[in-house]
Amino acid sequence: MAPQLAWIGLGNMGRVRHYLLPHLFYPMADNDPQGMCKNLVEKANLSRPLIISNRTLQRAKDFQSTLPFNKSTIAKTITDAVSDSDIIFTCLGDDAAIKETVSTISEIPNIKGKLFVDCSTVHPDTTNEIAESFAAHAAEFVACPVFGAPAMADAGQLVCVLAGPKESVEKVLPYCKGVMGRANIDFSDQPHAKATLLKINGNTFILNMVETLSEGHVLAEKSGLGSDNLHKFIETMFPGPYTAYSGRMMSGDYHKREQPLFGVDLARKDAKHALDLAEASGARMRDVEVADGHLADVQKHMGSKGDIAGIYGAVRKESGLKFEN
């Protein structure tokens, strides 16, 4: 019999879906559980409705209304979702949230043999704790963080990073490439934490890219080169994410959005994890230190509405320009 699937955690229901132009399908670090859920329902050929659980029940109901009829059900509690399922996906905003959820799951009688798949972006130490908790209850576990913007999640174009026992990973693969994602990075039979270690390290590439673009645009404006001329160079030499972020900066999108595409709070959480990992490993990430300092400035200026692209505003401000362009 085909397994019953459940999904725990829907993220920010208020987030704005992607907009503007196709070139804005750029890699990003902010997970989008809604897009991932949608593709499981629409593409995974599930024999039974997907069970959805969210801390705020109304959010689950609102999201369910966007899905095909009779293709999902709502569990009122995590216990209900887990008890009735064989494979349970979780995707939560931070380490505290996933730890709390796993603690709740651990209190459910007889989770032996169930497979838990965590797509959250968390510290590798947290992933290890989760793995140990499920192993203590004879449950299976696969770490499966993803790379991709909300639009990429909606389109099933994420990159899924899977780690854990090969036998368990193989049970998750049918729901990754071709359903939620365009590609898999398969770490079968490697420690679970390798997946989130790559995720945290990979996110620093995005952070450093935004920092580089921000400094370049400010120099272009103050030196007389002009942002338009710099953008021509960027779109010629670095098409894709560099061009997309450059466009967001020039348009003022970084300070105009009601909901961030990659929130400053989550970006700082990821930066902190990266810096902690570097320190523990005897390394140093100076670029991340600088970018995190600018993210702190974004938080002061915009609060939780701030976006990672707001680094541009922070660099502008420290260079004698207004935060908003």
Query: Which one from 114, 199, 222, 300 is the annotated catalytic residue?
Result: 199
Q: Which residue has tokens 């459910």?
A: 108
What does DSSP say about strands 50-53 and 5-8: parallel, antiparallel, or unpaired?
Answer: parallel
Q: Is 199 a catalytic residue?
A: yes
Q: How far apart are CA 86 and CA 107, in angstroms?
A: 17
Q: Which residues are catalytic?
A: 199
